[in-house]
Amino acid sequence: MTDVRDLGAVAARYWWVLLVRGILLIALGIMIFAWPKATVLVIIWLFAAYLIVDGVMALAEGFGERRAGQPSTWFFIHGVLAIGFGIVVLVWPQATATVALDQVHPDRQPGPCQDAPPLRAAAARPGSQLA
């Protein structure tokens, strides 16, 4: 195990790893600003993959608990729900992004390049009954 006092020596020895990591993160930041829609889509795909893998692992844990004679109902519920939500996220990525963005910033106004949901667009019209 590395002692705290040895971390300086380790950093001096592997300085190039920190440099490569920094360069990659700067490149990632530039790509995020250059292609924001693609970035959101990739994040949504990663989230869907996480949910599906988490669901499969919960099901596997449920089967393991059942084999050991332990209660496993919640593992199975967790697994099925996680897989189901992962599939929903994959099938409707635009709706997922909209819901996620509304959770983070509920007062946002749709920009000129964004498609506003029909009810929100109707409610924004002057004299609308939905406002």
Q: What pLDDT score does 51 carry?
A: 96
Give the start-to-end residue ranges of the domains of the chain: 1-34, 35-107
pLDDT per residue as tens, the chain (131 positions): 556 677 777 778 888 888 999 999 999 899 989 998 888 889 999 999 999 999 999 999 999 999 999 888 999 999 999 999 999 999 999 888 888 888 887 776 665 445 545 545 544 555 544 44
Q: What pLDDT score does 45 carry?
A: 92
Percent helix, strand, coil in the chain, to 5, is 75, 0, 25
Distance, CA of 60 to CA of 88 (rounded, Å): 21
Question: Quick check: pTM over 0.85?
Answer: no
Distance, CA of 126 to CA of 113 (rounded, Å): 21
- Tokens 């692992």 map to which residue? 57
Q: What pLDDT score does 13 carry?
A: 82
